Amino acid sequence: MEFLLDPDVVYLNHGAYGACPAPVFARYQELQRELERNPSQFLGRRFHDLLAEARAALATFVGARPEDLVFIPNATAGLNAVIRSLRLGLTTRC
């Protein structure tokens, strides 16, 4: 099974509280342990390179350039950034 979900549960809310596939969760735990072993090393020296590697892999997967991709905390933050960048020509009335 790819997910760690209880097999007796039908889980359809991946948009709000998405469960991770087991391999993703395992990698997350590896990185979390590395961070906990030496936070300064991880955050000060490894984090930037890890993000660059992830961005490059994602770019290959979606057919984009790595420099055109950014990571965001969640979909709401991403939509907010896009919407705030648009010039919609709306006016407010008091």
pLDDT per residue over 42-78, tens digit each? 999 999 999 999 999 999 999 999 999 999 988 889 9
Q: What is the dihedral of CA 63, 67, 68, 73, to 10 degrees?
A: 110
This prediction's pTM: 0.69
CA 34 to each of CA 22, 53, 86: distance values in angstroms, whole numbers, following the listed order: 19, 17, 40
Give the tens place of pLDDT for each residue, 11-27.
Answer: 887 666 778 889 999 99
